Amino acid sequence: MKIDDWLKTNTFHHSTFWDLQQLVAEKEKQGLKISLCIPTLNEEKTIGKEIVIFRSELMTRYPLVDELAVIDSGSKDRTLEVASTFGADTYYSGDILPEEGFKRGKGENLWKAIHQLEGDIIVYVDADITNIHPRFVTGLVAPLIYQPETKYVKAFYDRPLAFSQGIRPSGGGRVTEILTRPLFSLFFPELTALMQPLSGEYAVRREVLEEIAFPVGYGVEISHLIDVYTRWGLYAFAQTDLDKRVHRNQATRDLGKMAFGILQAFLNRAQQLDMVDVKVELAKILRQFQVNEGLIEQQEFNIVEEERPPMITIPAYREKFGRELSSQ
């Protein structure tokens, strides 16, 4: 069975790549440049530790990472100040490709990073990880360095959730198990081999990132997976077990907003691939309810999954990197 074979050959544990001297040597042999991007919005409490660890272990001790950048959506706290103090390159997303305008969202930061950063491989790591460790980078870039056919590496891990009984490890996130995995099971069964498709940690070759569109909101990860899969197939992916990720857990109501955006992005892709035929214009309003001092209050959220086009279509990018539009 294809999934079983892929799991055997393309699923790793980060400890497989313990020899960082060898990893750096192979990277240098191939002449690769690696950029680490941390997208941020109000992460002053955790960003400093991440930068200290990545700079000391992966730039100074082992020169695996060539560039470490924070790309921010407009934080109101000291995120950029802290990041700069500890040695990261810092950018406000709106200052990158200003002629293309600014859209608020994590996907916008990830997209702008392709233009701003120089790496042949770009690693994305979220800014809210409290148990940060070099494995969050080494475990993701290693399959790309050692397997030329691999294009996109996803992280998976235990995600502890706090309960009154203590800490209980959880496999996939709640939105993954309730929404994404059922959708993939119905429409893209092979993608169910990815244990945590919505994880915020992944490493990708530039030639892939520049060819795919980027929803600026919640739908960026699921759209990436569908686009890479339909173009390059299951074996373009690998995944690495990073053991455990501890971060700020979101409330169920916030996960509802996330699911709404992800579902929009999924249906957009499914329509483009002629897999579904939606005969009505999809609504963009999510309605939720809460009880405040005994009164039921209605809340409406306008969630629109706007998309940025493939970076290769942007003239300024092609000029900067000497790229040409592909014939596909």
Encode pLDDT of 12-43 as tens digits: 999 999 999 999 999 999 999 999 999 999 99
First-to-final CA distance of the chain: 30
pTM: 0.92
- Its domain, for residue 224, covers 2-321
CA distance 72 to 91: 6
> Is 310 inside any structural domain?
yes
Average pLDDT for 170-177:
75
**pLDDT band at 96, cuts 50/70/90?**
very high
Q: Judging by DSSP bridges, how do beta strands 34-40 and 67-72 pair with one another?
A: parallel
> Is 326 inside any structural domain?
no
Q: Which of 4-8, 71-75, 302-306 has the lowest mean pLDDT?
A: 302-306
> Is 270 inside any structural domain?
yes
> Is 42 inside any structural domain?
yes
Q: Which CATH number fits the domain that encloses residue 284? A: 3.90.550.10
CA distance 36 to 290: 40
The pLDDT, as a whole number, for residue 167 is 46
Note the pLDDT tens digit of each residue in 177-222. Answer: 999 999 999 999 999 999 999 999 999 999 999 999 999 999 999 9
CB 267 within 8 A of CB 273: no
CA distance 267 to 252: 22
CA distance 146 to 159: 27
User: How far is residue 35 from each of residues 50, 123, 150, measured CA to CA in Å?
Assistant: 15, 6, 17
Our count of domains for the chain comes to 1
